[in-house]
Chains A and B, each alone.
Chain A
Amino acid sequence: MKEPRTSLDMYRMMLLIRRFEEEAARAYSLGKIGGFLHLYIGQESIAVGASHALSDGDYTVTTYRDHGLALARGMSANAAMAELFGKATGCSLGLGGSMHFFDAAHGMFGGHGIVGAHLPLATGCAFASKYRGDGRVSMVFYGEGAASIGATHEAMSLAALWKLPVVFVCENNQYAMGTSLERSLSVPDVSRKADAYGMAKDRFVADDVFTVRDRLKVAIDRARSGAGPSLVEICTYRYRGHSMSDPAKYRSKEEVEEHKGRDALTRLEASLVLDPDTKDEAGQIQAAVELEISAALRFAEESPEPSIDVLEPTTYKGEFAR
């Protein structure tokens, strides 16, 4: 059911993520942000739908394309933008950057740069939940590009063997960097990997945020009930390149435009603006998001650089081991 209040909340978050990243891209081109910047634009319905399906206290772990999930789970735009700017006020004190957003208080356990290597971590969080019987669920996001690497399979193997409360979410955005699905996977239906582990599976398209929420909720409930892990493949598309340095010459403009035509954010916005009950508030949300993003940019710009003193205490807890 598409509750108006929830629709507006989801819209606000999807718009915040999109506008955050559009402005991050601009700041990157101005040299305010260094290193890698992997944009989530086009995939927002997944992080937002998932966050609405999860409970407070649940653990989430994701890839280096992590801004959307961090914001959706509750990180402030200020802490996120300041991290991109490498500032001391960033979510990871400016030490992580775009790829390593952490916010443990909101259950956001990264932001990981090695493809597939974060799936065992989420499986370990789920192991801890089962060990303690605390009822928490872990959800881990990965791209279809990670479907070929060993750590992905070892994590699923252990999670299924021990019926751990974890949901594996494959955000299939069709391209592993520049390599298309059909050029990288012998079986293009990633969800079928679940069969080999005796895991429950689901597969659907990300163009409606409520569908994302409701279908993921099924997997979350299954995990929380003790019935074990699931693999949920969500077909999506990133409108931008793999990272800022990618002109995306491996795909056609027509293909990109076709996907933009099914954009989940645009569709949700249209439905809210057309509805007289939500039209005004949607407009207010747009204005508020613009203010929030410009404030975040200003906050990031004006925040101090981290001091060298931060390095040793964040490397070891307690005395440095040299």
Chain B
Amino acid sequence: MRTLRVREAIREAMAEELERDEDVFLMGEEVGQYQGAYKVSEGLLERFGEKRVIDTPIAEAGFAGLGIGAAIVGLRPIIEFMTWNFSAVAFDQLLNNAAKLRQMSGGQLTVPIVFRGPNGSARQVGSQHSHAMEHFYCHVPGLKVVAPATAADAKGLLKSAVRDDNPVIYLESETLYSMKGEVPDGEHLVPIGKGRIAREGKDVTIIAYSRMVHVSLAAAELLLQKGIDCEVIDLRSLRPLDQDIILASVAKTHRAVVAYEGWPYGGVGAEIVDRIQRHAFDSLDAPVLRVTTMDVPMPYNANLEQLVVPQASGIVAAVERVMYRK
């Protein structure tokens, strides 16, 4: 085991896959000479050269589509969005080309491509730079969506994503880039579609992914002081979703709270709540609650932003409600 920051774990995954497979390349804005807008790709240009690490103009639709075109003829691109917010201008490429080319070609084409970059809220970057984009992408059959919370998973999931023959949406968090964690030595792959128990508990299941896993763990500590023992599930993968790990936990705790960034109308959390009520209705002792971003665009003001983003205090309150403590 070694201790790495999340950004180093992502970089190591890319370096290992670039080293392993000549068909893999990294393309995006500022990934090369600038060393990455968030220094994730630092050193990769020097190590792998301009052929493999490619700086682009600001043209997300263009280079996302170019990556898809390269993938259908056999390359395995890693396309970096400086942030997932900017994928909105390339949304058509992901929705209509990455996700659909296989099906509308009758299975002739495969699209082995990874789109990656930071997603969700950062700190006071305003309404256009704070989107949780997973809710749009999880809706689309043909795409896979992963959102690691730890350095080990960041590395292992990215390596699996590069080797997957389907388009994978890989969501990072700016707020996690500097977080340290243990990463196994040697070849480390984490399968797409398997969640993990981040904290074992018996009273309530808190379901989260990416940054919100850490917020949920903080909430669990607060709740322990109130005598409530929470189980925290880190989904790691949103599509496919590890339904089994959710249902097994709910069968044990009989109560669930889903905590995630994103607006409350629909989205990943609503999907999870639906699956729990459909498959575990009889084992529930309380309605499943969601803790989400408030239903407004993200404000700049620091105090207001913290009110809008889901917090540990909100998770605590939701858990107390499903425990009928309040």
Contacts and interface: CB of A to CB of B under 8 A. Distances in A.
The finding on whether chains A and B are genuine partners in a shared complex, rather than unrelated, reads yes
B62 interface: yes
Interface stretch (B7-15, B51-59, B115-123, B281-289): B51-59
Interface stretch (A86-94, A170-178, A289-297): A86-94
Interface string B136-180: 000001111000000000000000000011100000000000000
A129 B66 CA distance: 12
A155 B66 contact: yes
Contact of A123 (B66, B141, B240): B66
Contacts of A157: 57, 59, 62
A123 B67 CA distance: 9
Interface string B43-84: 000000001000011010111111111111111000000000
A119 B241 CA distance: 33
Given A158-B62, A318-B165, A318-B166, A128 B74 contact: yes
Interface stretch (B98-106, B228-236, B297-305): B98-106
Interface of A: 59, 61, 90-96, 100, 102-104, 109-114, 117-129, 131, 150-151, 154-155, 157-158, 161, 310-311, 313-322
Contacts of A124: 65-73
A322 B196 CA distance: 17
Given A154-B59, A158-B56, A322-B241, A123 B166 contact: no
A93 B106 contact: yes
B295 interface: no
B166 A316 contact: yes
Given A121-B68, A317-B165, A161 B109 contact: no
A90 B105 CA distance: 10
B85 to A, nearest CB: 17
Interface of B: 25, 51, 56-57, 59, 61-75, 89, 92-93, 96-97, 101-110, 141-144, 164-166, 192-193, 239-241
B65 A151 contact: yes
A70 B318 CA distance: 58
Given A124-B66, A131-B25, A158-B66, A322 B107 contact: no
Contacts of A94: 106
Contacts of A161: 57
A157 to B, nearest CB: 6
A110 B25 CA distance: 25
Contacts of B62: 120, 123, 151, 154-155, 157-158
Nearest to A158: B62
B65 A117 contact: yes
Given A95-B106, A321-B240, 17 more contacts: A96-B104, A104-B105, A104-B109, A110-B101, A120-B93, A123-B66, A124-B67, A125-B69, A131-B70, A151-B61, A151-B62, A154-B62, A155-B65, A157-B59, A158-B59, A314-B103, A316-B142
Contacts of A126: 69
A315 B73 contact: no
A315 B72 CA distance: 14
Given A117-B65, A117-B96, A158-B62, A125 B70 contact: yes
Which residue among B65, B96, B109 has the maximum number of chain A CB atoms within 10 Å of its CB? B65
B68 A120 contact: yes
Contact of A117 (B93, B105, B108): B93
A92 B108 contact: yes
> Shortest 3 CB-CB distances between A and B: which pairs?
A124-B69, A120-B65, A154-B62
Which residue among A109, A123, A313, A316 has the maximum number of chain B CB atoms within 10 Å of its CB? A316
Contacts of A311: 103
A191 to B, nearest CB: 20
